[in-house]
Structure 1
Amino acid sequence: MNEFYEKFRNRTYFDNHGEAIANHLDKFYKSDEITVFHEMVSPDFHLDVYLINSAKHSFNILLTSGMSLLEMTVPDGVENPETYTFAELMILLPKAIEFGKIFPGENENDWIIGMLKETARFPHHYDTWLAIGHTLQATTEMEPYSGDTDYVGLIILPSVTFDEEFTEIKTTEETINIYSVFPLYKDELEYKIANGYNALLDKLIEKNGKEVFDNKRGNLLA
C-alpha cells in the first residue's frame, strides 16, 4: 500500500456525519426531492453529492457529503478552531442545469460536480482547511475547470440564501458548516489574491452578484 493510501487509512473518520447530513436534509425536503450521486470508487475517503430539486426553490442545490468525514487542519492561532473543523460545500444552480443519472458521465455539466468534489478533497490532501474567504484555483496554470466554462477557480462564501438553521448541522459534539461555492474568472481570482477577501466582496456587492450559479455572468471587474 503506497504512502497516499496509508495516510487516509490511518485517519480518524467521523462516520456519524454522513447520517447527520441525511437527517438534516430530511428536515427540509421530501425524499423524492433528493437524488444522490454515489461515489462508486473512492481513492481516499467516500464523497457523495446530493442534488436537491424542490418546488419550494427557484433553484436546485448540489451539496457534498463526505468532506466532513475527516477533520480539517485548522492552523494554530485561529480563535475557536473547533467551529471550523468540519465542513461541506454547496452550490445553487438554475433549474435548467441538469445532470445524467450517474457521475462521472458525458454530461456537459459534470464539471460542476467535479469542481465541488475536488474542492472538498483539497484540505484533506494538503493538511489544510477551507473557510469563508478562501480561494482555490482549478489548476496551477489557472486553466478553466472544463471546456464548457471560463471559470478557473472559486471562493468560499457564506450563503446569503440560507440562514444558520440550514448551514449549520449539529451533531452530538460537532458542528458541520455548509459553505457556498462561488466560481471565479481568472482576473477575479487574481484580484482577490492581490487585494484580499473584503475587496472582492465589495465588488460582489457593487455588481449585485447572485449566489445562484450563472455560467455566463458578467465579470465583477468589468
Structure 2
Amino acid sequence: MNEFYEKFRNRTYFDHHPEAIADHLDQFYESNEITVFHEMVSPDIHLDVYFINSKRHAFNILLTSGMSLLEMTVPESVEEPELYKFAELMILLPKSIEFGKTFPGKNENDWILEMIKDTARFPHHYDTWLSIGHTLQSTADMETYSTETDFVGLVVLPSVTFDEEFTEIKAGENLINIYSLFPLYKNELEFKIANNYNALLDRLIEKDAQEILDNSRENLLA
C-alpha cells in the first residue's frame, strides 16, 4: 500500500487542467445546468465528475475532471504522442437516468459513475494510455459492472454528437481530449478482442448504434 501512495505522490501533476475544463464548460453551459459529483476521498488522483443537464440536449452528460491531472504513458511508436497524453471521459445519458446526492450510495445507477471513474484511473494505475479504439473489461473474468446491467466492458470512441470545438480542450500548451465511452456486452467485447476495432466499428455502424447509453439496447452481434 505504501508503494501505491508513493507512486502517485511523486508524479508531476498538471493542476491547471481542472480549471481549464471548468472554463471550457462555461463556454457551452450555464452554471445552473452543471452539477459536480465531488470526490470526498481520493486514493490517488482527485477525480470529480460533472453532470450536465441542459435543455438544449435530448440527453444528459457525465464528464470526468481529474484524469488529465497526470499524463498517460503513450508509447514512443505513436506518431505525435503529445496529442494523446491527456484525456477526460464522457458518457451521454438518457434524461430518465438520475443519481443520488452522494456517491457511492444505494442508487441503482451508481455503476455508471463507478465505471467512468474506474476507467479514468486505469491508465495511471497501469502506466498505460487510453485512446480511440481501446477496450477495457470490468474484471478479469468479464463480470458485469453491476447487477443493474449486463455490460461487462467498454470501448473508447470519438464522439459523433460533439465536434472538436467541444471535445478538445486547450490547457496552456497541453491538449486534453474528451473521449466517449460505449459499454459492451460480453460477446461484443470478445468480438472486438478477436477481430479488432474496425470490425466492431462496422457493427456499430450497421446497427446504427447511438452514443446515448441504452442499458437494454440490442446486441451488436444479434
Name the TM-score class by shorter chain: over 0.9
Amino acid in structure 2 at the alignment position of 1:43 = P
The alpha carbon displacement at 1:29 in A equals 0.2
Question: Secondary structure of 1:73's match?
Answer: coil
> 2:108 matched to which residue of 1?
108
Map 1:113-192 onto structure 2 (within 5 A): 113-192=113-192
> 2:20 matched to which residue of 1?
20
The alpha carbon displacement at 1:62 in A equals 0.1
Question: Secondary structure of 1:205's match?
Answer: helix
> Structure 2 length normalisation: TM-score?
0.99
The alpha carbon displacement at 1:144 in A equals 0.2
Once the two structures are superposed, residues 150-206 of structure 1 have per-residue CA deviations (whole angstroms, 9 ceiling, x without a partner) of: 000000000000000000001210000000000000000000000000000000000
> 1:43 matched to which residue of 2?
43
The alpha carbon displacement at 1:76 in A equals 1.3
Distance 1:73 1:132 in 2: 15
> 1:33 matched to which residue of 2?
33
Distance 1:37 1:139 in 2: 24
> 1:209 matched to which residue of 2?
209
Distance 1:14 1:25 in 2: 18
> 1:84 matched to which residue of 2?
84
Distance 1:106 1:85 in 2: 35
> 1:55 matched to which residue of 2?
55
Amino acid in structure 1 at the alignment position of 2:211 = E
Amino acid in structure 1 at the alignment position of 2:47 = L
Q: Give the number of aligned pairs.
A: 222
Question: Secondary structure of 1:88's match?
Answer: strand
The alpha carbon displacement at 1:91 in A equals 0.2
> Structure 1 length normalisation: TM-score?
0.99
Distance 1:213 1:45 in 2: 26
Question: Secondary structure of 2:205's match?
Answer: helix
The alpha carbon displacement at 1:50 in A equals 0.3
Alignment RMSD: 0.6
Distance 1:153 1:169 in 2: 27
Distance 1:97 1:206 in 2: 27
Amino acid in structure 2 at the alignment position of 1:58 = A
Question: Secondary structure of 2:115's match?
Answer: helix
Distance 1:185 1:91 in 2: 16
Distance 1:68 1:121 in 2: 10
The alpha carbon displacement at 1:102 in A equals 1.3
Amino acid in structure 1 at the alignment position of 2:167 = T
Query: Moved runs in structure 1, 4+ residues, more than 2 A?
Result: none
Is it true that 1:11 corresponds to 2:11 in the alignment?
Answer: yes
Amino acid in structure 1 at the alignment position of 2:109 = N
> 1:194 matched to which residue of 2?
194
Distance 1:102 1:29 in 2: 23
Amino acid in structure 2 at the alignment position of 1:113 = L
Q: Which runs of 5+ in 2 are unaligned?
A: none
